[in-house]
Chain A
């Protein structure tokens, strides 16, 4: 099912080969070690008592009855937390900066599911039983769940310290937007668009086992947090301890997709409990708790959207107002307020853009990164408006894209706000999609479907996966922040018996780091990847991490493998140097190949196996006039970034831009609004593919997530702030019978900016969300011509679009000069 079109690329050694994964052997035998698999003698199991109210004062908490239950070890309340910790650092400038966020609710609860009390007991069941005996008296308060109402004068305020519900507001403008609209032949106005709230629901939920060493004040946290660099920076100051006192250890992680970045409040609660109870404590999040309280994807409204278009279909620019719904707490927000601008023009060449971005707090689950974080929402906006413009002006959706796409010859392309798209050929990728999906047969298929009473539609979704953040963009939101650039660390050593061992600061959740890192090292050192051992996961004790260490933001292939490459190259240099010392020849005469360091074109005996090299500095270092090299290299990869221009909101915010073009064909049952995807094609370009099968796996996974979000997945709330989809029964996650047939293709446009020409990839950019909406709108042209204005289109919404097309049509207006 794969048709691959290759461009030239780095094809050295094992790069570009779909080497079987090292991780697989243990995982298919059920021998992976996920945090809940780890046990400690006498450990306490923790259950969080959570708020049933979306907004309420905590009047009193009584844990007496809970503590009296046999087998209960202890409890922790917000009052204790407020005494023992300082509020978490806030990324926002004022007013968001004034939000006081603790590990447990203090004084108030602000969303249903917020953790209020922690109970620890000798068994899981007992902790659950004890939790029921905790008596909490609440005084309910009015609730705000609609972000569009959050700034109304009479809106209930979540955080009094912040004075209102706004966390951030800013105007982002580049080019000459007014002139663009003056020059336009058509202005297309769209009153309101909505990107819905959902996330990636990794199958393993959050959790940790925490131990406290009383003698040294050291915590060891076995967890699945996927951004330990960030977690430590948040936890250390809160716990009033040095960062080195927080040893974070990850092993196997059951999916992350960004949703495992902000578990630091729960980790702090566990740290306090482990110290208080003098025993290890363990917490495993329930699925329901995850849905209610962990890492919702940004929900975003776009209002007063206007697009300036020339008669020939050239897109001059757009302006819009965005309201971003952050939920009840700012745990990684308001970074979403700048991160979208990495892809401000989407895949298009328009130069005049204005977005007024406001983020608000509401009584819903806290928002933090979700696969495609904040770029996906913005890319959906650009795709939706291009699709609507094409539809309203009767322009061909393929032609308008090809006319306006950034072109291969423009690359590297500087966007209006100073980001640089490194490489790519979007039009070529679109052509491959059209070929895979049989675009020239669409009209015929449409007629055939109509004869069966079905409405067929075809849609395109063009999207980007920007990778390797420049954290300096945070200063565009808050100029006082001291974060900039990015990093990742790796060590590669040659051990006493010739083993090559790699450690990384990353936290893979299925991306195959052990395998791809081994491929890179093996290519450089000149041996089989089987001889390279990559340690599993992350451990602060390895000292191979830095402030930004983790696996997130589609950056591993650049930062992680960049660090691995640097360390491996340094080790290779040392190996050649040591061999040259042994053979007493120039370093240039030495080559590393087939597991040996040998003299190039030399006699067979002028070859040292790696084991011999490794033994020298470790156990056999006498007789050298100068110190033999250590065979233990540590490298910090730093991407080339400047701090962006805060005045103009201008600069390189991310290093690489992978691209995906998606196309889908679907059939709608006009009597019910039910629809099915019947054909699907996805083409990706992530530069050099280190391991093509792993890359394709990521493309498939992102496609599946997008399909789920387009059709079934939503975090829907009622007016009282109750989550209506708090588990997998109501939140339908697509299964094997729900998937369309899939054809994939690839283009490889190496990045000129990265060590291996690879671009980070994995998040995907929500391509499926974009093309499914487009296909629905295409199908409905024959049944009233409704406009798709929501990213989430369950059957009932499609039925409404069929029943009342005039309602969605009322949101669109075209003015022609």
Chain B
């Protein structure tokens, strides 16, 4: 099925546990697919060179920048976005920790930041401060200076995500 090059494809992507089948131009970025085709606008765009991390999602459990993936590359994969974190409006300990520590101001970097933090805590429940900073290094924040974000992730560590 993959052999002939095409400019459009039908893809089947699982996002936050729900499977979506859509026709997409092969040139479409995953972040635009999520935001415009699926109306999942929690994932944000902050730059055009893959530096800022506002678009961070999980693909098959790994934190990636969805602005540097084509939608067609997510065909057959499991994607997780910020909308999939809280079940039924019940905030997770990580989300609550962000609020308690005042780790967000404008909230624009927050979805990507949460996804990077979750990816860290999923595999390393007791990270050091350095490990936390490395995990969120690819997420730019212009409001907080990161100090409260690090504190929030420390607070959430060990308490489940």
Contact = CB atoms under 8 A, between A and B. Distances in A.
Q: Determine whether A and B are in direct contact in the complex, meaning some CB atoms lie less than 8 angstroms apart.
A: yes
Interface of A: 1, 18, 20-21, 23-34, 36-37, 39, 124-125, 200-205, 252-255, 257, 284, 286-288, 509-512, 693-694, 696-697, 700-701, 703-705, 727-729, 733, 735-737, 739, 742
B145 A510 contact: no
B107 A27 contact: yes
- Tell me if B's interface is mostly helix, strand, loop or mixed: loop
Contact of A25 (B43, B81, B99, B146): B99
B37 to A, nearest CB: 11
A130 to B, nearest CB: 15
Contacts of A693: 102
Given A28-B107, A254-B107, A697-B144, 20 more contacts: A21-B102, A24-B107, A28-B104, A29-B85, A30-B41, A30-B43, A30-B110, A32-B107, A37-B41, A200-B142, A253-B106, A254-B46, A255-B108, A510-B107, A701-B142, A704-B144, A727-B51, A729-B49, A736-B136, A736-B137
25 contacts: A24-B99, A26-B107, A28-B114, A29-B42, A30-B41, A30-B82, A32-B107, A37-B35, A125-B27, A202-B108, A203-B140, A255-B105, A255-B108, A287-B46, A287-B48, A287-B49, A510-B106, A512-B105, A701-B142, A728-B47, A733-B140, A735-B139, A736-B150, A737-B134, A739-B133
B125 interface: no
B54 interface: yes
Residue from A21, A27, A255, A696 with most neighbouring chain B CB atoms (10 Å): A27
A28 B99 contact: yes
B15 interface: no
Contact of B148 (A39, A125, A697, A733): A697
A729 B51 contact: yes
A727 B25 contact: no
B127 interface: no
B158 to A, nearest CB: 19
Contacts of A257: 142
A697 B42 contact: no
Residue from B49, B89, B100, B137 with most neighbouring chain A CB atoms (10 Å): B49
A204 B106 contact: yes
A60 to B, nearest CB: 29
Contacts of B81: 30
Interface in B95-137: 95, 98-100, 102, 104-111, 114, 132-134, 136-137
Those 3 A-B pairs whose CB atoms lie nearest each other, nearest first: A30-B42, A254-B108, A27-B107
A202 B106 contact: yes
B102 to A, nearest CB: 5
Contacts of B54: 203
B13 to A, nearest CB: 18
Nearest to B41: A37
A421 B139 CA distance: 39
Contacts of B134: 736-737
Contact of A29 (B36, B95, B138, B150): B95
Contact of A36 (B45, B142, B147): B45
A203 B106 contact: yes
A537 to B, nearest CB: 12
A20 B100 contact: yes
A700 B144 contact: yes
A665 B114 CA distance: 31
B124 to A, nearest CB: 16
Contacts of B157: none
Contact of A24 (B104, B140, B147): B104
A125 B41 contact: no
B41 A25 contact: no
Contacts of A33: 41
Residue from B47, B99, B137, B145 with most neighbouring chain A CB atoms (10 Å): B145
A29 B86 contact: yes
A255 B25 contact: no
Given A27-B110, A704-B144, A739-B145, A203 B99 contact: no
Contact of B146 (A203, A205, A729, A739): A739
Contacts of B142: 200-203, 255, 257, 701, 704-705, 733
A735 B138 contact: yes
Contact of B105 (A1, A37, A697, A736): A697
Interface residues of B, number: 59
Contacts of B110: 27-28, 30
Given A31-B42, A735-B139, A736-B137, A701 B104 contact: no
Contact of A701 (B111, B139, B144, B150): B144
B114 A727 contact: no
B99 A254 contact: no
A703 B148 CA distance: 13
Residue from A21, A34, A203, A509 with most neighbouring chain B CB atoms (10 Å): A203
Contacts of B138: 735
B146 A704 contact: yes
A23 B44 CA distance: 17
Contacts of B98: 24, 28
Contacts of A742: 145, 147
B23 interface: no
Contacts of A34: 41, 44, 108
B82 A29 contact: yes
Contacts of A286: 48
B63 interface: no
A27 B104 contact: yes
Contacts of A27: 104, 107, 110
B96 to A, nearest CB: 8
Nearest to B94: A28
Contacts of B9: none
B30 interface: no
Residue from B25, B43, B106, B134 with most neighbouring chain A CB atoms (10 Å): B106
B36 to A, nearest CB: 8
A254 B102 contact: no
A51 B110 CA distance: 34
Nearest to B48: A287
Nearest to B145: A704
B79 interface: no
B62 interface: no
A18 B102 CA distance: 10
A401 B109 CA distance: 39
A27 B144 CA distance: 15
A205 B76 CA distance: 32
Interface string B53-91: 010000000000000000000000000011101100101
Contacts of B36: 39, 124
A284 B138 CA distance: 23
Given A727-B47, A727-B49, A736 B104 contact: no
Given A24-B98, A736-B149, A204 B46 contact: yes
Contacts of B133: 736-737, 739
B41 A511 contact: no
Contacts of B149: 736
A255 B139 contact: no
A125 B28 contact: yes
Given A202-B142, A203-B52, A125 B107 contact: no
A80 B126 CA distance: 61
B44 A254 contact: yes
Nearest to B133: A736
A202 B100 CA distance: 23
A727 B137 CA distance: 17
A204 B146 contact: no
B48 A288 contact: yes
Contacts of A735: 136-140, 146
A767 to B, nearest CB: 13
Interface string B6-22: 00000000000000000
Contacts of A737: 133-134, 137
Nearest to A739: B146
Contacts of A32: 42, 107-108
Contacts of B28: 125
Contact of A694 (B47, B49, B102): B102
Residue from B95, B104, B111, B147 with most neighbouring chain A CB atoms (10 Å): B147
